Amino acid sequence: AGVTDSWWKYAGSAGKVIGLDRFGESAPAPALFKLFGFTVENVVATVESVL
């Protein structure tokens, strides 16, 4: 996970980037992973959407 700005040059305008562009949330890690989309289901769905 990381700031997405620098990844768009590789993904292009039609691509997708999963990252974190904000901070300040506080909760147990599993809840934050779900909140920010860092789940297996979301990553798979995102990859499939660009294939």
Euclidean distance between CA atoms 12 and 31, whole angstroms:
30
Average the pLDDT over 40-50 and give the result: 96
Enclosing domain of residue 17: 5-50
pTM of the model: 0.74
21 pLDDT higher than 60: yes
Q: Which residues contact 43 (CB under 8 A, 6 or more apart)?
A: 18, 37
Cα of 51 vs its chain's centroid, Å: 17
- Number of folded domains in the chain? 1
12 pLDDT higher than 70: yes
The pLDDT of residue 24: 87
1 pLDDT higher than 80: no
Average the pLDDT over 6-10 and give the result: 93
Average the pLDDT over 19-25 and give the result: 88
